[in-house]
Amino acid sequence: MAQSFTEENYLKHIYKLSKKSDKGVSTNALAERLDTKASSVTDMIKKLAAKKLVNYQKYQGVTLTNKGQKIAVDIIRKHRLWEVFLLEHLGFGWDEVHEVAEELEHIKSATLVDRLDKFLGHPKYDPHGGPIPDSEGNFPAPARVKLDELEVGKQSKVMGITEHSESFLAYMKKVGLDLGVEFKLMERHDFDRSVEIELNGKPVQLSHDVAKNIFVAY
């Protein structure tokens, strides 16, 4: 039997919350996320467990079964494709697409979604930068470039490094460029390709040797 909207929303939020830790999702965290009572969450979890969509053990939280995960990823795929469609073809603003996509994501027709995906040219990211899984449920690898190739003015975040020497790592730490740290590329000097970034509201200068060894989100 197909799931209801509410059930699909639970699966989606369990999936998203489960990405934030490797433990099961607590019913309290879910209740907070869904803005509902913990007792309603427990009732719904039992229902989902009976449908073999989640595993639930008291005190250990909720995890998705393979079947539950498949549904959750499919909802995320539909949500993000609809956001692209709304923004690019119906004139909705960035700030408006999410709410409408919350409804559209529950339309069941797989043919509709496949045609939407094709019509949009198989986009890999939604308007907020969220990766769009393909019809098999595989997420695209996050797009990344070397910091010395990033467009000036772009907001980005550190995704990795190509230089692993201890002194380089120490330098990264000293300037505050940890993995996942967000910054903005303010300027690139043509004469030596050194860059200036804004990090936590402060300007930081990086040599070309440093910039070319850092992978950042594109």
Binding site for Zn ion (CB under 5 A): 98
Q: Which of 33, 98 has the CB closer to Zn ion?
A: 98
Q: How far apart are CA 6 and CA 124, in angstroms?
A: 27
Q: In whole angstroms, how close is the CB of 125 to Zn ion at the nearest point?
A: 12
Q: Which of 45, 75 has the CB closer to Zn ion?
A: 75
CB 178 within 8 A of CB 125: no
Q: In whole angstroms, how close is the CB of 94 to Zn ion at the nearest point?
A: 10
DSSP state of 148: G
- Name the residue whose CB lies closest to Zn ion: 98
Q: Which of 70, 98 has the CB closer to Zn ion?
A: 98
Q: In whole angstroms, how close is the CB of 82 to Zn ion at the nearest point?
A: 9
By C-alpha distance, which of 184, 179, 213 is closest to 200?
184
Q: In whole angstroms, how close is the CB of 51 to Zn ion at the nearest point?
A: 25
Q: Which of 96, 198 has the CB closer to Zn ion?
A: 96
Q: How far apart are CA 174 and CA 205, in angstroms?
A: 13
Q: Which of 88, 198 has the CB closer to Zn ion?
A: 88
The DSSP-derived string for 34-66 is HTS-HHHHHHHHHHHHHTTSEEEETTTEEEE-H
One-letter amino acid at 215 equals F
Number of Cβ within a 10 Å radius of residue 1: 4
Q: How far apart are CA 14 and CA 16, in angstroms?
A: 6
Q: In whole angstroms, how close is the CB of 191 to Zn ion at the nearest point?
A: 43
Sorted by sequence, the CB contacts under 8 Å of residue 178 that are 6+ apart come out as 158, 172
Q: Which of 98, 124 has the CB closer to Zn ion?
A: 98
Q: In whole angstroms, how close is the CB of 195 to Zn ion at the nearest point?
A: 32
